[in-house]
Amino acid sequence: MPNLSVDAAGRDQCFEDFVPGSVRTFGTVLVTEDEIIGFARRYDPQVFHSDPVAARKTVYGGLVASGWHTAAMAMRLIVEHYLSRVASAGSTGVDEVRWLKDVRPGDKLRAGDCSRS
* CA–CA gap between residue 72 and residue 56 (Å, rounded): 25
**pLDDT of 36:** 98
* CA–CA gap between residue 79 and residue 27 (Å, rounded): 11
**pLDDT of 3:** 36
pLDDT along the chain (117 residues), means of 10: 41 69 83 98 98 98 97 89 72 86 96 73
**pLDDT of 7:** 44
Give me the domains of the chain, ranges plus CATH numbers.
1-9+28-87+102-112 (3.10.129.10)
Residues with Cβ within 8 Å of 112's Cβ and at least 6 positions away in sequence, in order, are 23, 24, 25, 26
Strands 23-30 and 3-5 turn out to be parallel
**pLDDT of 11:** 57
**pLDDT of 9:** 45
Q: What's the whole-model pTM score?
A: 0.76
Reference 112, options 89, 87, 82, 92; nearest CA is 82
CB atoms within 10 A of CB 39: 20
* CA–CA gap between residue 54 and residue 25 (Å, rounded): 36
**pLDDT of 52:** 97
